[in-house]
Each structure stands twice: as structure tokens, then as C-alpha cells.
Structure 1
């Protein structure tokens, strides 16, 4: 089995639904899909640490302690697994037919595409520091675009606007739930109100 990464990467911009179909058609076991996810997450964590170092050197801003790569790996892996669950579960509630394993390989591919974008962003930091901010905005837009297109193909939906709204609401709902869980478990402390003078 051969996978043409260059072709898939190029078509992710021109034919994202076709790429989604090709990815879901790959004869990969669940274990292989999880392994692919972990490889991409590890590479992304290494790149993120490198980006922090480059940003600190270029700007001269004291970055403090770098985020431990293992912590980044754990967090991103958790987010991808949760994202695959939400992508499949929420879609199925609205009549979709997508599975968790297919959602996982699609999100792994989105993470890979964003990682390539981060490589470009690091290079921009070196030569054109200001444009790196614009690249961050473009990557967020690309992530949302691919997520909507892949969700449509995953579940067989036909209304891109409804899917876009659903993706956005799922993001907001997940963020609210995560915030409540983190605060209630004490992992994140709410700031204390200012004392009256």
C-alpha cells in the first residue's frame, strides 16, 4: 500500500472531500490509526517547542520555562481522541453515518496539514516575523475549513452551512464543558475578586 502524501496534501486545498474519501478508504486497523495519530502529535510537539525557542531568540522576549513536550503530546492526543469522538457522536445524532475510527484518521490528517503549516510559520518567524501572525490566522481558518469539509464527507451531509454551525457550536460547547471540569476539579484556579479598599 502506497500513500502519496504530496498528492493528498495538495488536494486538501482543492478537493478536501476527495481526500477525506481516500483517507477513510485506507485499509488501516484502529491500532494503526492510533499509531499515526501519535506520530503526528509527537512531531507537532517537537515543532512547537522549536517554534517557542525561535520566537524567543528572534524577539528577545524572555519565554520562561518551555512547555514540556510530553505534556504537549498528552494534551494534543487527548484533544484529538475527544475531537474524533465528538465529530462522530454529534454527527450521528443528526443522522450521520461516520465512525470514530474514520473521524480519528481525518483529524490526524488535519493535524498533519497544520503541522506543515507550522513549519512554514517557523520559517516566516526567521525571515518575516510580522507575517507569522498572519500565518496563525490562516491556519485557524484552514483548520475550520477542513473540519467542515471532512465532517460533511464523514457523515454524508449535504448542507455545508448547517455543518459549519454545528462544528462551531460543538467547539463552544466543548470549551464550556472543559472549563467547568477544569475549574471544578481544581486543575484551573479562578482569579480571586479584588478586595475592597
Structure 2
């Protein structure tokens, strides 16, 4: 992909996200390229998140006792896992509702969403130094952008029509996932058990 193709794809993603998703899926890139793209995206994102933490003075030590120098790798690892889980859910839950999307394409679309959010994150880090109030606004807009792109890409992946239904299923899936993860967190001692 040339730099012109990359810029055109960014513009297309904001104008016609479903077309951008279909273009990405039509490229036929091998899984190794998709995994490498994910590793690159989350590595840069983890580094930017660490820089942002340093700017706001929260990078001395994490709750788990990790030193600041180790944080970018930890953040990248967590984000890597989150994107893979998200792509798995995008593919599997969609198929439960009659879709036909594959994990390979869901992973590619999730990586592209991560890349778009990475650009927004870079702008946010710069604004956090120059104009801190605007950085907070960018943070809120990035959440809206994530939801919008995920819904549009899910439509393209599975051939769905209704965006509100996809959004509703997304929220239901996140609630169910949070419920399941809370049990694992309690079992592993990460969260305390609720008093009887």
C-alpha cells in the first residue's frame, strides 16, 4: 500500500466506512501481515499511552508494581489481547445473528480501527501539552468514533443492515463479557469477593 493509498483509505474511512471495510477485506493480505500490523499498531499505541501518562504525572508506578520503563510493553500487551478478543467477538457474535464474517477479516478491520484511533491518540497527546481542555474533548470524540466505526465495519463484515441493532448487541455483549470477566477476576484474587 502506497502513501497515497493510505491517505485515500483514511478519507474513505471517514466518508464511507463500509466501503473502506470492503476495500480492506478485498486485499487478501495473509494472516502474517495482519498480525504484524496489529503488533505495530498496539506497540505505538502503548508508547503513546505511556507518554501521555508521563505528561499527566501518573507514570511512576502502576497498581501491579511495574516500573514506568515496563509500562509501554504491558500496555501494548493488554491492547493486543483486547483487539484479538474484540475481533473474535465481532466475528462470532455476528455469525450467531446470521452474519457471514470471518475472524481473519474481523481482525483486519479491528486493526484498522486501532490505526485510526492511534492517529486520534497522537493528536490528543499533542493537545494535552498545548491545549489540555481540547485534549479531553478529543478523548470523548475518540470513544464515539470507535463505536461508529465498529458498527459500520460490523455491517460490512456480516452484511447486516440495521446499525441500531448492531449497537444494541455490542452493548449487550460488553455487559455479558464484563459479567464473565468479573467472576474470573474474583477467582484469581484481582477483585475482592462481595460480602454475603
TM-score by length of 2: 0.89
Match of 1:184 in 2: 187
* Structure 2: unaligned runs, 5 residues or longer: 62-67
CA displacement 1:146-179 (0-9 Å, x = unmatched): 0000000000001111111111111221122122
The answer to whether 1:113 aligns with 2:81 is no
Match of 2:9 in 1: 8
CA displacement 1:24-56 (0-9 Å, x = unmatched): 111211111111111101111111111111223
**Of 104, 112, 127, the match for 2:107:** 104
Match of 2:29 in 1: 28
CA displacement 1:100-130 (0-9 Å, x = unmatched): 0000000000011111001110111111111
Secondary structure of 2:84's counterpart equals helix
The separation in 2 between residues aligned to 1:120 and 1:107, in whole angstroms, is: 20
* Structure 1: unaligned runs, 5 residues or longer: 57-61
Match of 2:145 in 1: 142
Secondary structure of 1:68's counterpart equals helix
8 Å CA contact 2:113–2:149 kept in 1: the answer is: yes
Secondary structure of 1:79's counterpart equals helix
The answer to whether 1:89 aligns with 2:85 is no
- What RMSD in Å do the two structures reach over aligned CA positions? 1.7
Q: Which runs of 4+ in 1 moved over 6 A?
A: none
The separation in 2 between residues aligned to 1:41 and 1:73, in whole angstroms, is: 5
The number of residues matched between the two structures is: 187
